[in-house]
Amino acid sequence: MGAMNATSRVSPGSDLAGRLRRAAAGLLDAWLPASCIVCDRPRGDRLCDDCETALPGVRAARCPRCGLVVPGPGDAAPARCAACDDDPPAFAATVVLADYAAPLDRLVHALKFGRDASLARPLGHALARRLAVGWRDFPPPLVTAIPLSTARLAERGFNQSLEIARALARARRLPLDHRLLVRTRSGAPAATLHAAERRSALAGAFATPRPLPGCAVIVVDDVMTTGATLRAAAEALRDAGAGRVINCVVARTAQTDASRDRQRRPGPS
């Protein structure tokens, strides 16, 4: 992978490094026969229909607000979960590709830590296919992603959620604005915190640098665990005037308790 070595000499996290990495991924895509990222069979689309429909939880009844799997009859529209009823989040809906389990956990891990940015495109396209949420009363939504901290971006060289957002925005022909959310402080709360502790630690963690009167915004994240990060992001966007915030996440963990999430997650997000 000479192209990746070439990009490693560029200051990590710079726009140039990101552009080079995406260009390298694009060239590889063009040169190599496309094969499915799950079953490895040669396929036109890099996540084949068979594998997409077999993802765990892909047809599960989910709370429309936070994407948590809720018990319920298969065909009836699922009701909101108890947590969303008790304490409604600032976001209106969450679109989920599938559960955080094999093979999505492996793919997200490879995207995040293996620096295989080319995985973002099939995941973003699959997520775009799930996005049937209406925004009738709003202008076409702006697409953005949960930003990494500056330190994490420098260490990793790219924001995996932004790369997924880029693919989703392109597939749905929606405008992408990667600067809609900024972190107001460095570092992230420890993964050992429980949901309620995580939420208070994350309150005010994001700001929106410009007013968004009446806008609809799609916020992309790779994995949703307690939902505290997406709650804080949606609060910042709503404070800036956004009328509707919709989350799009590749993988949703089944439990909301951070201590159990920790056992399922491959490492820090």
Minimum distance, C-beta of residue 133 to Zn ion, in the bound complex (Å): 15
Tokens of 224: 């949703």
In the complex with Zn ion, the residue whose CB is nearer, 37 or 169, is 37
Query: Is the separation of the CB atoms in 158 and 149 below 8 Å?
Result: no
Tokens of 111: 């995207």
Q: Count residues contacting Zn ion (CB under 5 A)?
A: 11
Q: Which of 63, 92, 202, 212 binds Zn ion (CB under 5 A)?
A: 63
Minimum distance, C-beta of residue 7 to Zn ion, in the bound complex (Å): 28
Minimum distance, C-beta of residue 254 to Zn ion, in the bound complex (Å): 13
User: Which whole-number Å values give the CA distances from 237 to 55, 144, 213, 218, 219, in the listed order?
Assistant: 31, 11, 10, 10, 10
Minimum distance, C-beta of residue 89 to Zn ion, in the bound complex (Å): 8
In the complex with Zn ion, the residue whose CB is nearer, 51 or 111, is 51
In the complex with Zn ion, the residue whose CB is nearer, 69 or 171, is 69
* Alpha-carbon gap, residue 205 to 120, rounded angstroms: 25
Touching Zn ion, residues 23-52 (CB under 5 A): 36, 38-39, 48, 51
Q: Which of 24, 66, 92, 180 binds Zn ion (CB under 5 A)?
A: 66
Q: What is the DSSP string of 16-48?
A: HHHHHHHHHHHHHHHHSPPB-TTT--B-SSSS-
- H or E element at residue 220: strand 216-224
* Amino acid found at 201: A
Only segment of 12-20, 83-91, 113-121, 150-158 that touches Zn ion (CB under 5 A): 83-91
The residues binding Zn ion (CB under 5 A) are 36, 38-39, 48, 51, 63, 65-66, 68, 81, 84
